[in-house]
A and B are shown apart, each in its own frame.
Chain A
Amino acid sequence: MKITCQEASNICNKSQYKEASFWDIVKLRIHLLYCKACKQYSKKNSELTSMCDRAGLTMLSKDDKERMKRDLEKKF
């Protein structure tokens, strides 16, 4: 049941994208009970996720950027 801090951070990252399995999360939870450093990391990581959600980030698609680049280059 014991996992290393590296495994813990890996599970933590995956869980930010809902890609951690149930057992992984159980293992992570147990690890967080006794590992302060990972607990801190995990907290910050979830904060980052919620900030990204809140900020409503958007971006241009790859195609859009390619098109922009082509159009812009024509004007050089």
Chain B
Amino acid sequence: MAAQELHPENWVDLYADYLFNYAVARVSDTDLAKDLVQETFYAGLNSAKNFKGDAAERTWLISILKRKVIDHYRKINSKKGKAEVRINYSSDSDAEGDWLEQQVADPFSKDGDNIMENEELGLAIQDCISKLPQKQAVVFKMKTIQGMSTEDICNELDINPSNLWVMIHRARTALMGCLNDNWF
């Protein structure tokens, strides 16, 4: 089997959104996430010779990004004393519950599970979007993620509304099928 080759010139188009979603979910800061994605691409380029071709390009990039996220947290925790967990009485008196016992996480809360599940869902959707034909993916993202109006999209891409809705229809149908296979 021929080893896979890297195509850095396509990285931004193919993987930037996927990596960005991954990063945002972990650092919850869009600017920082942007930087991490950029650094990931640089690092990928620098260590391209280590790419053995036994993993898909995206999996390989994600593994680099993973390290970048860990490094980031290590860096912000490296100043002495920051790494230890400190619990103070809440400084703002508005906060509910004066006692520490009242501030611990609710053990019956499902929030954690939901957040994790939604994060995976986000990546699954991005994955499915990346399998769409380029044009459909662009239109779908503009409409669904950026929430742009039909008129603006038509102007920017120089298409007419019925064109746009046909593409949205095809994209949505494909996504339903893809998520059906990969998510449910």
Q: Which A residues have a C-beta under 8 Å from some C-beta of B? A: 9-10, 13-14, 16-17, 19, 44-45, 47-48, 51-52, 54-60, 64-65, 68-69, 71-73, 75-76
Contact = CB atoms under 8 A, between A and B. Distances in A.
- Contact-residue size bin, chain B (C-beta under 8 Å from the other chain): 35 or more
A71 to B, nearest CB: 7
Contacts of B172: 13, 16, 45, 48
21 contacts: A9-B169, A10-B169, A13-B168, A14-B165, A19-B150, A44-B176, A52-B145, A55-B121, A57-B125, A58-B21, A58-B145, A59-B20, A59-B141, A59-B145, A60-B20, A60-B37, A68-B16, A72-B11, A73-B9, A76-B9, A76-B45
B45 A52 contact: no
Contact of B8 (A16, A44, A47, A76): A76
Which secondary structure dominates where chain B touches chain A? helix
B179 interface: yes
Contacts of A51: 121, 125, 179, 183
Interface of B: 8-9, 11-13, 16-17, 20-21, 24, 30, 34, 37-38, 41-42, 45, 118-119, 121-122, 125-126, 141, 143-146, 150, 165, 168-169, 172, 175-176, 179-180, 183
A48 B169 contact: no
A72 B125 contact: no
Contact of A57 (B30, B34, B122, B165): B122
